[in-house]
Amino acid sequence: MTGILIDPGKCIACRACEVACEREHGRSFITVFEFEGSAVPLNCRHCEKAPCIEACPTGALFRDKDGAVIVDIKKCIGCDMCLLACPFGIPEMAGKIMVKCDLCPERRAKGKLPLCVQTCPTGALTYEEPNGFSVRRRKSYAERIALRRAHDVPQL
Amino acid sequence: MFPSFDWEKCIGCIACVRTCMGGALSYTDREGIRTITFEPGLCDGDLLCLKLCPVGAIKPSPKSSGSSATFPLARCENCGKLTDFTVKEVEWGKERGLFDVFLCPECKRVESAKRIGEGFE
Ligand code: SF4
Ligand code: SF4
Ligand code: SF4
């Protein structure tokens, strides 16, 4: 599994990732949400079991060799079914095709990081290579649960 | 062969409309109602629509006649905004376990960002 690991504790809501993404793609596929006392940059999660891939009636969504979930614009008809299925509300319609985060394939082909990750000044975004991501994500999730238990915070 | 539509089965997703090359299938969203129309005069019989329909609402038929159906659009269950999805699509999504609560894309993003902020990605 690959993707961008978000560390909301580090995000300072400078929106450099949004600007970087827009420079690479012409529009930004990452959005910073600000809440009271915290900020969360959100992009496609490149889900391990991606509901969008299963929902697409034309087979336009596929996983590339790095594990990124990609739209084949030749097959996409812009029907919105991926958006209905996506738990994060990520797919956007650009005329008659769907567009979303593709983890910067041209950059990856040259061995470079996705531009948002490269740009983030605080390290709130980390690019995880295949196999590293889910392991670390599970680990940090487990650590948080343990912390909550230790501090007697109610489990959500 | 031509497509024949079972509008009872149809969930109004417009996958068929989007794939239709000749313009035989069309739709409008007006005042919270989606109308899908099949105009056989423009149909070239390629049946691309039939292959895409997620609920099997289209069957091949030697004869074709014009038909149309209306579908109320669904509102976000959080902010109440009218969405681009029909009530039947939302019911279909719930039956398939895609979601329990139907949110518009904007609310989905905010809610999932909140969860990630709380450490529950
Ligand atoms: S578009 Fe949504 S469902 Fe698909 S991989 Fe990205 S986050 Fe997951
Ligand atoms: S909009 Fe495109 S990618 Fe999304 S479900 Fe429809 S055909 Fe597939
Ligand atoms: S693809 Fe099937 S369910 Fe979707 S609008 Fe067409 S007939 Fe209805």
Overall size of chain B counted in residues: 121
Do residues A79 and A91 lie in contact, with contact meaning Cβ atoms separated by under 8 Å? no
**pLDDT digits 0-9 by tens, B57-72:** 999 999 888 999 999 9
For residues B79 and B61, what is the distance between their CA atoms, to the nearest angstrom?
Answer: 43
> What residues 80-109 of chain A have any CB closer than 8 A to a CB of chain B?
80-81, 83-90, 92, 96
* Cα-based angle B39, B41, B43 (whole degrees, multiple of 5): 75
- Please give the model's pTM, rounded to 2 decimal places: 0.87
Closest chain B residue to A38, measured at CA: B117
Bridge partners (DSSP) listed for residue A84: none
For chain B, the average pLDDT equals 95
Lookup: tokens for A65: 């060799």
List the beta bridge partners of residue B82. Answer: B75
- Give me the pLDDT at residue A156, please: 46
Sign of CA dihedral A68, A69, A72, A78: negative
Query: Which are the contacts of B61, defined by CB distance < 8 A and separation ≥ 6?
Result: B1, B2, B3, B4
Please give the Cα distance from B94 to B87 (Å, whole number): 11
Residues of chain A with pLDDT under 70: 1, 130-156
pLDDT at B24: 97
pLDDT of amino acid A2: 74
* Fold assignment, A8-43+104-125: Alpha-Beta Plaits (3.30.70)
Q: Which structural domains are found in chain B, ordered by start?
A: 2-73 (3.30.70.20), 75-118 (no CATH)
pLDDT at residue A140, as a whole number: 62
Return d(Cα A129, Cα A5) in angstroms, integer: 10
Residues of A in contact with B49 (CB under 8 A): none
Q: Which CATH class is domain A44-100?
A: alpha beta
Instruction: Please give the residue that has the higher pLDDT: either A129 or B53.
Output: B53
**Quick one: closest CA in B to A32, which residue?**
B113
**Interval B20-41 mean pLDDT:** 96
pLDDT computed for residue B97 by the predictor: 95
pLDDT at B111: 96
Check the CA dihedral B15-B21-B27-B28 and report its sign: positive
